[in-house]
Chains A and B, each alone.
Chain A
């Protein structure tokens, strides 16, 4: 770590404001309002806030990557990097900084790599541009970088295309690209949000290691407080475009001063599921469910093998209780949920309230649909954008003819909306007018208006901000105790599962690796995979498996 001669901080942002011009007559949006912060070598600064707080826009302004002239900075805005002003700098000067002295890692590893280029080409590109390396030297350096970020079998991966890598591996490649020119600052915009918990731990470990090794400054943008606590030296809490509190990590966690910070820190899903009656009748039971997707090969499309999405899973959900299904992406938890609802074909036995429903036709199932409902992960895609809230909620009522008259239907809709904590006036509005949490409430109202007995909750909180997650968990718990609902709660977030589930199943590669009462599995996990999952989720500890 070299001390700056002129004592200027490496990066100094002062009074940064960003305004987006209004679209078609709407008012301009002030996304960032007078943000000031400094960042020095070897330091990790976490920019923490919920979605829409302006943290990503702040990060993009550093490299001047916003869609100008739709976005504009105020006259007083200043971003000085090593004494050089970046706001309004010429494109040529900016290009010298971008990817060279300040590099960025984006959130979504699935879309940040060009699918048509090999890894070697993607990484070597910045070496050619900024370092003017020869092809041979660039290849050597690329290999070195891939080894540095811990990509296994790097020599053979040079010619690989992004689709041949997993999400975690792609994020490693992104990081390799970012550090290729040994930048002074690495901006990581939610670098692990799209990754599974065990992989998240590995990637964070890597970032920390690289920062220490190269003396980089790390600007970490995240909404996840666990990550912040583990990684950051300093924190800036952002909300509504402004920084409300800034300071060293320990100080903010121990003595939060601003009410928003306090709310944010208190927002983690807390509490436990209300004790359930152990003698409650079994409502949904599955024995040895298999969902196999055939892989067809050759000209004759003969079945060459199967993708075993769900492979011999048995479970039981009792009235009034929650069964949590935990696993990483690709473990088959969502497919399991769809199979139980007969939304995807499955083999085995599925008994709902005593009837075996595996072989029943969709027509015969229709009356049962009223009693088993589902809430999906992404509240933005699960509501049709062209229907008003009333139309969305009333659809099930119409299908099952649950209301005798239009007036009664309206009343039921209003009741359902009130029950999920929405204003009944919301009925005439359209989904895009609501925030993510409110949309999820609408989706819950759609399921709830039918008065179901069994609800599959497929990651209902994953797309939401932390404080909203806590509210939704609270709401689900309340609805369960009021109506005696049975939940199948699918999630990769162990914190939320712990707050809601009575029993949990841990799934890996379509199979159950561990099952039991929540407390028991959480406190004394038996299977090594469960242990690794717990360590990664609660301590962000990377356990190599």
Chain B
């Protein structure tokens, strides 16, 4: 090539690339991160939410009807992970040990020690040792009282929070992937693909979701995955329009044209050139979709078409609160937990939205 273009040693002495958690990020991302961080409310909401989520992920270690650890006759036992027969500890029955049984407790403490979780109930544990008829008010044993079947409300809250958030996250993640992919294909290729897909979405979104769920509930017992699948069938459409619009706009940008002129394949153009610009709309929407998913699950549980009976769920607790107005701790607790969780997510969502807003002048 050129005379001055002697093979130069491949070296870059420019400023070191900016990194965040070890990932190489663009200055644009850096600006957004800084902007997000400056929104104190959203920033702290994120941390509080993450802390709560992280703690409830280990619900089995916090609220359980079995000890975390047993030291018995010089051996270590982990009842949280493994079922041990009562006979292991010198009992009479070959069935799984019931650690709440005073007889079993006596056997173990005679020749060893047990470490109990903070709350010695899990979400199914029925406390038969109640001072009055269930639901019983908050006490030193059941900190937030029990529900109408004598189960500890706090334990059910912890498990319920976890399942709500997990359901929301999985549903949000999967519907985003499907929605973005569908929107990308429609927007990028346009024409007949777009036309056909749009008509399909119009018909599909006309299906009555609630009735489908009720009908399904009559011949299968809906579990976590059933519900997730059913909701997913309809929830992916939320993002399609946004992503499609971004793609329709971006496919005529000069840098997309330039990439086509370079001979870059459609797949790479979509992934590398257009998608990063469409993710702004997607990420901005995510916290709100997450909120929507959680609310959906809660309302289904409230109506009784949600998770199988006995599962820990915030919606079921709300329904109990409605059915037992004389036990206000049920309704108030469920309401407060839901309100705090949804507010935290909205605050995070607001901060994310502002961080991605290019017109937002941060002084």
Which A residues are within 8 Å of any B CB, using their own CB?
21, 23-25, 70, 338, 341, 343, 365-367, 369-370, 372-374, 376-378, 381-388, 395-396, 399-400, 407, 410-411, 414-415, 418-419, 424-430, 432-433, 443, 446, 450-451, 482
* Chain A contacts for B7, CB-based, 8 A: 411
**B residues contacting the other copy or chain, number (CB 8 A):** 39
Say whether A395 contacts B10, CB under 8 Å: no
A23-B363, A386-B277, A425-B14 known; 12 other A-B pairs, CB under 8 Å?
A338-B257, A343-B261, A367-B263, A370-B263, A374-B257, A382-B254, A382-B257, A384-B273, A407-B10, A428-B15, A446-B262, A450-B262
How many pairs, one residue from A and one from B, have CB atoms within 8 Å of each other in the complex? 113
Per-residue CB proximity of B224-235 to A under 8 Å, as 1/0? 000000000000
Task: From B12, B259, B261, B363, give the contact of A70 (CB < 8 A).
Answer: B363
**Residues of chain A lying within 8 A (CB to CB) of residue B362:** 23-24
Question: Which of B2, B35, B261 has most A Cβ within 10 Å?
Answer: B261
Quick check: is B34 within 8 A (CB to CB) of the other chain? yes
Give min CB distance, A338 to chain B, whole Å. 8
Q: Max chain A CB contacts within 10 Å: which of B26, B38, B258, B264?
A: B258
0/1 interface trace, chain B 241-280, chain A, CB 8 Å (1 if under): 0000000000001110111111111001000110011000
Known: A418-B4, A430-B27. A386 touches B12 (CB 8 A): no
Name the A residues within 8 Å of B272 (CB-CB): 384, 387
Q: What sequence of 0s and 1s flags, for each residue 1-28 of chain B, a beta carbon within 8 Å of any chain A beta carbon? A: 1101101101011110100000000111
Q: Which residue of B lies closest to A451 (CB)?
A: B1
CA A75 to CA B261, docked complex, whole Å: 54
Given A24-B35, A443-B258, A446-B258, are A381 and B27 neighbors across the interface (CB < 8 Å)?
Answer: no
Q: Is the CB of B263 within 8 A of A400?
A: yes
Given A378-B254, A385-B28, A430-B27: A395 in contact with B276 (beta carbons within 8 A): no
> For B8, B12, B268, which residue has the most chain A Cβ atoms within 10 angstroms?
B12
Question: Which residue of chain A has its CB nearest to the CB of B261?
Answer: A374
Interface string of B104-134 (1 = CB under 8 A from A): 0000000000000000000000000000000
Can you list 10 residue pairs at the A/B interface with Cβ under 8 Å?
A: A23-B363, A24-B31, A372-B261, A376-B258, A378-B254, A387-B272, A411-B10, A428-B12, A428-B17, A430-B27
> By CB atoms of chain B within 10 A, which of A383, A395, A411, A426 has the most?
A395
Residue contact A415 to B1, C-beta cutoff 8 Å:
yes
Partner of B263, one of A377, A396, A418, A451: A396
Write out the residue numbers on chain B whose beta carbons fall within 8 Å of the beta carbon of A446.
258, 262
Supposing A23-B363, A425-B13 touch, asked if A386 and B26 sit within 8 A by C-beta, the answer is yes
Q: Which of B27, B38, B268 has the most CB of A within 10 A?
A: B27
> Which residue on chain B has the smallest CB distance to residue A448?
B1
Q: Measured between alpha carbons, how far is A450 from B261 in the docked complex, in Å?
A: 12
> Which residues of A have CB within 8 Å of B264?
395-396, 399
A432:B361 contact, CB within 8 angstroms: no
Contact B263 A427 (CB under 8 A): no
Interface residues of B in 32-89 (CB under 8 A from A): 34-35, 38
Asked if A382 meets B38 with Cβ closer than 8 Å, knowing A419-B1, A428-B12, A428-B15, the reply is no
Q: B279: nearest residue on chain A (CB-CB)? A: A386
* Interchain CB contact (< 8 A) of A399 among B17, B31, B38, B262: B262
Closest-CB distance, B296 to chain A (whole angstroms): 34
Q: Assess A381 versus B253: contact at CB under 8 Å? Given A70-B363, A419-B2.
A: yes
Instruction: Kindly list chain A residues whose C-beta atoms are within 8 Å of the C-beta of B257.
Output: 338, 343, 374, 376, 382
